[in-house]
Structure 1
Amino acid sequence: MVHDILITKENPFENDVLNFRDHIHQFCSQFIFRKIPLSAVVGITGEWGTGKSTYLKMLQMHAEGKNKDVIYFNAWKYEFYEDPLIAIYFEMESKFKEVLTLKKYKKVLNDFKLYGTQFIKSVLINSISYVSEGIINLQDTKDNVKKIKEKQATLLEKRIEDLKGAKELVDRFSDSIATLAKIINENTDSPLIIIIDELDRCLPPHALKLLERIKHILSVPGVVFIIAYDKNQLSHSLKTLYGNDFNIEGYLIRIIDHEVAIPSLFSAEYFNKCADKVVLSNNIYIDKFDESYKGLNPFAVTNILMKLSLRDQQYIMHNIYSLNNKNKNITKISYLLVYFYFLGGLKLKNPSVFKLFESGTITKAEFYRKVLPALNPLERDEVIIGGAEILMAIVLTIISLIEGEQNPNNLTSLNLNGVNLEFNVHLVADVKTRMTTQRITNLKNIPKLYSEYPTFSLD
């Protein structure tokens, strides 16, 4: 199975297959490894499955390895809390107790705890609306109009007083955080870092409340919040609350002071690590392919052509792992494994076309018409093009055999979105020869294997 990348405080970049190191060093120089007297909220943006959580974990371990104080908060994990501020408070309390152990800090710690617990009680109590408390009792009659007005006036006056008290409590709570953050700044020459992960997985009301709490209560001098999110997903969530005309950019400008996009890089090294853990460690043979083909391996090229995210790649690898446990006749033939991997990408990115493969009705004509136009354009790089030639030769040869073609050796070239691919005739012939050991019904049934296994959770 694929496990999370091992990230340690001693060497956080030891397994940096996503090439985040330089980017994180630059980020830390700007936002962490220096005193920051003001508050800051930094957004880390990236699409789903591009490694945001890995980036944040490396960032955390790198900072902690330099003796900086970091709080890591998984917003989705604590979504069951009525108010996200409650969970963050407990994380902050734990961190302050851990790092501020001297007696001279006892008073400020007690102030933080006092105002924090009072604030939490206030949040919980005020979650009950005044209407439900009885500002208006529907059973009152017209004869009681005067009493109703008096009751409303009394309760509204109480509400105003409560709001005044709440404002004072918020100010005291925020001030106590700022005092502790100032101490941390002085002790470490760095701000208190609070990392918020998995925000875009939260239900829209919870995500919104968390952002508002951060901006209006927790953003105090000496604290830097680092919040990771997929802007498209967050936009979709907020539009469910505010409608399709909601301006996500305008909203985030009010919340986020700085926005940083994580590097969006294709990492062949990541795929190879993933393959080593799932494929090679389970005795599944991946042919390195003859170096005379001069190509990147066809698995990695599939990632490029279909823009497969890191999570997408893990999903397919999990299926290969399960397939190997049940049908080693497929996983021991590298050409079929390439085909199976390619089908996994189609299932994720183009499910309607995948159904043609699944039903056994795929033809080269349908492939040219429906699959090729949907593929990501290739860079004019000799290594990538070489890998694409291997991949397409394998896939098209198998499709030809499924169609019942006796001589797929006539496959010589293909124009892929403006890039001309030349097929190695020896490769095409070898694929045909190896496939003759498989019945055509077996080739047609390979896509159905994706339906035989559960969809894996990659969290």
Structure 2
Amino acid sequence: MNMSTKFIKDREEEITEPFKGDLWGRKQLGEKLTHFISNLQCGATIALDAEWGSGKTWFVKNWKADLEEKNYKVIYIDAFAHDFMEDPFLILSMEILNIVDSDASVSNRFKDKFISAYHAVLPNLPMLIWSLAMTLMGGGHFSKGVQDTITTVKEATGGVGEKVGELLEEGLKEHLTELVDNYNTNKNELKYFKQELENLVKDLEYPLVFIVDELDRCKPEFSIKLIERIKHFFDIPNIIFVLATNKAQLEESINSFYGFKSTNSYLEKFIDLNIKFPKRESDSYVEVIRTYVSKFGLRVNNKDILILSAVFNLNSRDLTRILQKIALMSNFNHYVSIVMAFIYLAMEQKSMNPSRMSEKEFLDNFMNLLITHVKSQRSYNHSNYDFANVAKFADQYASSQAGRDSSGFPYLLKYYYLEYTDEIIDERTLDMKKSLKDDLKASGYYNETDFVKSWDNYINSGFIVN
């Protein structure tokens, strides 16, 4: 019987108690952010920058609920769900209009100016003609590229093409003349739109907060349009935009699409303030691990999971998914080394491809991560460890972690030492090494000599029910 490890996502539910179950201490960030925007005398665009899986969406939805309890007007949109639209100007305008309770005459004036402004910001020619028109040079003459295209249309399609070419040429000239004539009109329409938008929100008790989520998942052209529209048309007092995004991912997407250099800071032109999610501290991991180990009924020493979570620098989504998978394995009637499973799955989560490693490569990779982690901790006495000799370090660190009830982590380190030390070991120790290796393997694959391959077979071929 094979079973996949897909997970059921939590249902979307109305948040009745903001920041309930706040395992990462995000409420404090929300309070600081609320205090900051309440004192702003102008509009602003704030980037809430966090990596994938850090809980951005959970945070902004709970922060939205918290703000609403304080009588703020708050808009939340999933940008990714709207990136099929031609222009985000419509979304931004209508969401603001829908949430603001204003005098009917003010709303109607805003609608009128919105319609005029919407026409002004959109090209009203099909893309082919628009692209051709953009290559027009001065003096009322078409550039060689446009003229060649028109000539090709005429020659390739005979009499009908001749007529089409003439209409295309005539239509381009008329449209470009209209663009020039309407330039000042369109410019004024956009000015009037911003004035009416200011009138719409000026009497709000608190700034209107507009949260844009999932921006880094959108098509690059839509992301840029949305950010540019915010800056050019919605940058007014009493409206605060908060962009919840992985900024590095968004910049990489934009750079790749438009051919910018990787050092280009295009987004900085549109963002007034960057806020990074606070770094995870070990104290934050403690509560998360305690909660999920209890929820999933795992029999494991929490300190082992705490150390491993810190070593791999896991975010909340990574940690939860790994524990979910281990819980699923543990429900079957055979032995599971939770420490070994956690390390393997964490490597998989971090795209380290553990299945392609030999046992030595697998353990070396983990030991290097562990050494880096230990060196970064102020609480450890570094003089106790021989960092140059990895096998001895494993033995020394295992001794420092030993003595905990039901702890599997020191056993893994001890196995590494016994397997790869240059020191001579006796028969009794060899028996211990064999026993340790058995403990690190999943049942059903004891014929495997390499426990890394055992775990690859075990995890990726499905779960065996005895």
Give TM-score scaled by structure 1 length.
Answer: 0.74
Q: What is the letter of the counterpart of residue 362 of structure 1?
A: E
Counterpart of 1:292 in structure 2 is none
Query: Which runs of 5 or more residues in structure 1 are unaligned?
Result: 289-295, 412-424, 455-459
C-alpha displacement at 1:161, in angstroms? 3.1
d(CA) in 2 for partners of 1:437, 1:337? 10
Aligned equivalent of 1:107 = 105
Structural RMSD (CA): 4.2
Residue 4 of structure 2 is matched in structure 1 by none
- Relative to structure 1, the CA distance from residue 42 to residue 316 in structure 2 (aligned partners, 3 Å threshold; closer, same or farther) is same
The residue aligned with 2:299 is: 286
Shift of residue 393, structure 1, vs aligned partner: 2.3
Distance 1:329 1:161, change over 3 A: farther
CA distance in 1: counterparts of 2:349 and 2:53, whole angstroms: 13
Alignment equivalent of 2:242, drawn from 221, 226, 233: 226
Over 3 Å counting, the alpha-carbon distance change for 1:410 and 1:238 in structure 2 is: farther
For the 8 Å contact 2:363–2:416, the answer to whether it is kept is: no
The answer to whether the aligner puts 1:261 opposite 2:267 as a matched pair is no
Q: Give the distance between the partners of 1:30 and 1:328, measured in 2 at CA.
A: 54
Q: Which amino acid aligns with 1:311?
A: R
2:191 is matched with which residue?
Answer: 171
Q: CA deviation at 1:240?
A: 0.9
What CA distance in whole angstroms lies between the structure 1 residues aligned with 2:90 and 2:191? 16
Name the CA shift for 1:275/1:212 in 2 (closer, same or farther; >3 Å): same
Structure 2 match to 1:206: 222
Q: Where does residue 14 of structure 1 map in the other structure?
A: 20
- Give the whole-Å Cα distance in 1 for the aligned partners of 2:212 and 2:43: 15
Contact 2:52 2:246 in 1 (8 A): yes
Could you tell me how far 1:173 is from its partner in structure 2? 2.3
Residue 316 of structure 2 corresponds to which residue in structure 1? 310
The question of whether the paired residues in 2 share the 8 Å contact of 1:7 and 1:58 is answered with no
Corresponding position: 1:395 with 2:408: no
User: What's the CA shift for 1:408?
Assistant: 10
Instruction: Give the Å deviation of 1:229.
Output: 2.0
Deviation at 1:117, TM superposition (A): 3.7
Spell out, residue by residue over 1:46-73, the C-alpha distance to the aligned partner (whole angstroms, 9 max, x if none). 2222222233223212211111111112
Distance 1:111 1:314 in 2: 50
Matches within 5 A, 1:124-139: 126=124, 128-129=126-127, 131=129, 137-138=150-151, 139=153
Q: Return the index of the structure with the highest Cα Rg.
A: 2
- Give the Cα–Cα distance (whole angstroms) in 1 for the partners of residues 368 and 380 of structure 2: 21
Aligned pair in 2 of structure 1 residues 408, 245: CA closer, same or farther (>3 Å)? farther
Alignment-derived partner of residue 349 in structure 2: 348
Match of 2:79 in 1: 75
Provide the C-alpha distance between the structure 2 equivalents of 1:153 and 1:382, rounded to a whole number of angstroms.
76
Provide the C-alpha distance between the structure 1 equivalents of 2:71 and 2:123, rounded to a whole number of angstroms.
Answer: 39
Which of 449, 457, 463 matches 1:448? 457
Instruction: Measure the CA separation in 2 of the matches of 1:122 and 1:377.
Output: 56
Q: Give aligned-pair identity as a percent.
A: 22
Q: In 2, are the aligned partners of 1:41 and 1:226 still within 8 Å (CA)?
A: yes
Provide the rounded CA distance (Å) in 2 between the counterparts of 1:38 and 1:408: 76
Q: In 1, Cα distance between the equivalents of 2:58 and 2:427? A: 44
Q: Deviations over 1:23-48 (max 9, x none)?
A: 222221111x24x4422111111222
Q: Whole-Å Cα distance in 1 between the matches of residues 239 and 78 of structure 2?
A: 18
Q: Does 1:362 align with 2:372?
A: no
Letter in 2 for 1:451: N
Which region of structure 1 is more displaced relative to structure 2, 438-447 or 261-270? Answer: 438-447
Superposition deviation, residue 343 in structure 1: 0.6
The 3-state SS of whatever aligns with 1:72 is: strand
Offset of 1:176 from its aligned partner? 1.9
Q: 1:83 to 1:149 in 2, by over 3 A?
A: closer
Partner deviation per Cα, 1:170-228 (whole Å, 9 max, x = no partner): 222222221112021xxx2x211111111111121111111111111111121111112
Distance 1:159 1:131 in 2: 14
1:92-146 C-alpha deviation (Å, 9 max, x unpaired):
23212xx44xxxx1111112222324444555662634725986644458x9999
3-state SS, counterpart of residue 351 of structure 1: coil
